[in-house]
Amino acid sequence: MKTLGRHLIAEYAECNPERLDDTGFIKTCMMEAVRKSGATIVDSVFHRYAPQGVSGVVVIAESHMSIHTWPEYGYAAVDFFTCGQTVDPYKAYAYLKEMLESTDGALTELDRGIPSEKHEVINHKPVPVGIKLSAAAGQ
């Protein structure tokens, strides 16, 4: 695979149900988790469901981080999808685990990218076809 990014899929279990149902709290935690990972926030949207549960996504320059909660089960599903070499999604994962007071769960990491016989990490923002490197660098 020509790897463009990492995708952490987190299953947070045995969480504090009150925290999982608080939209403001979830948004604050997700934004801070993004900051702790070193990612750049572009935009975000969060929604509270009736009678319970919250979904939200933080779009980052390096991809996205999203959450969906089930307070009735003490469970949250979270994706940390990051591209490039400067972001550490494990920092976001650890921070969110602490804030949700999760005592159980699972974490899966997937490489995301272009199927290939050769394994390599490639830039997620290459120079567009037809643009010379010297022009792209402002020279």
**Active-site positions?**
63, 68, 83
Can you tell me the distance from the alpha carbon of 128 to that of 115, in angstroms, rounded to the nearest whole number? 20
130, two tokens: 């037809």
Cβ neighbours for 126, distance < 8 A, ≥ 6 positions apart: none
Can you tell me the distance from the alpha carbon of 65 to that of 110, in angstroms, rounded to the nearest whole number? 14
Give the 3-state secondary structure of residue 32.
Answer: helix
